[in-house]
Amino acid sequence: MVSIARKNLLEDIPRFLVAQAGIMFAVSLVTIQTGIFQGVIHSTISLVTDSPADIWITSRRMVHLELTEPILFENVVKASEVKGVEKTDALIIGSARWLVSASEITVVKVFGFNPAKELLFPGKVIEGSVKDLKEPYTLIVDQSKLRPLNIKKIGDHARLGSLSAKIIGITQDSQSAVSGSFVFSSLETANALINSRITSSVNCKWEAEEFLCVNIYKKVNSTPITDQLKKSNTVKHQPIVLNTPISFVLVKAKPGEDLKQLKQRLQKVVPQTSIYTRTEMIEKIRNFWERRTGIGFILGLGAVVGIIVGIVIVGQILYSSVSDHIREFGTLKAMGASNYVIYSIIFEQALWMAGIGYIPGILACWGLGTWTSATQGIVILITPITAVGVFGITLFMCLSSAIFAIQKVNLVDPAIVFKA
């Protein structure tokens, strides 16, 4: 019976290729939509999942990682003195204006932390070192944002507000797909950049694609961003003090410490705050993007459209195949073949179509995901569970289509083989 199914499937190659193209389209659409959704959610929580911090302390009004009210740095000191705490760090998150060119600006999200504490990892650093952030006015940027931010290499300088900063590192997989460009710095640098204002002490301009700053107190002197801006930045540098606003307190518990009890002790020391374990923090962020935004609905709608298109195309191909071989099926019935035998031929065709269409479709999606992640910073996350799930959907799609063809066979009169 398998040979009959293969013969029917491959008898008309153009029709077979059209069917496989439809299945590939459906597989690709479902996989890409699902992968983008999972990639978006993963990108919003990656900084939390990669962090060694066991507990996150923030404002009671926190919505998600990038939207929370500030708390004071003194909470870091208080938390560090609680029994069971190994070490603590502050995380400052804020926005700054980035001068892309002489006539263009953009807004970047600045993440400030203490690189020596190692409680926050800015993705996978592929060039430079996180430890170099200890130098004032230094930044790490994601590889996918180099072109949008007009950064070509390590050592380039950027203008944020009225201050200058040097690029000392490039990272991967740190960027949220639903946010503006992320840049990472030390606490002091982030505090200065976020709170910087436009000043007239230094006049900056673009010449031959090089950022130059002119000291307005000297009529002619023009130099690249070096000593002049370092002096200017040093004056504006704002040290971290107890009343400095921060976004989060990151807490690393001692080995074997019960996090539930540690949360209770921390709550007594830092009241009027919300305290989350890493798992709770991830869940809160995930719930926001899945339930309070339209991302899931839009991408899910696209996946449903792909499934419908696949069912229609495969169903039409199988129905036409059965119609073309209606006499053969009538002959089998006249010879005493059971419905099980007839149905198995049609289902066999559907299974072959599912397998042959699924493999190139999933491989194409995997290649596309690799390319978009490397060049666009958009993660199409295809996990083993996703791959298995999409294969199950493909089987459902093809087997459901076979039902339409079976309805045609059920109406076949075995006597048809004796008609002229």
Read off the pTM. 0.76
Strand order in the sheet with 222-224: 202-207, 210-215, 222-224
Q: Could you tell me the residue ranges of all domains in the chain?
A: 2-44+294-418, 60-272
Instruction: For residue 243, give the DSSP letter.
Output: T
Residue 77 in 3-state DSSP? helix
Distance CA 223, CA 221 (A): 7
Tens-binned pLDDT, residue by residue, of the chain (420 aa): 446 767 776 777 887 787 788 788 888 888 888 888 888 888 899 999 999 999 999 999 999 999 999 999 999 999 999 999 999 999 999 999 999 988 899 999 999 999 999 999 998 899 999 999 999 999 999 988 898 999 989 999 999 988 899 999 999 888 888 888 999 999 999 999 998 764 434 444 444 344 443 333 333 333 443 444 444 454 445 678 888 999 999 999 999 899 999 999 999 999 889 999 999 999 999 989 888 887 778 877 877 887 787 777 777 777 777 777 777 777 777 777 777 787 888 888 888 888 888 898 899 888 888 888 777 667 788 888 888 988 888 888 888 878 877 777 776 666 655 554
Residue 120: per-residue pLDDT:
93
Question: CA distances (Å), 392 to each of 39, 43, 358, 385, 389, in order?
Answer: 21, 26, 10, 11, 5
Residue 182: per-residue pLDDT:
94
Residue 166: per-residue pLDDT:
93
Helices and strands (H, E) in the chain, number of each type: 11, 15
Residue 202: per-residue pLDDT:
41
Amino acid at 164: S
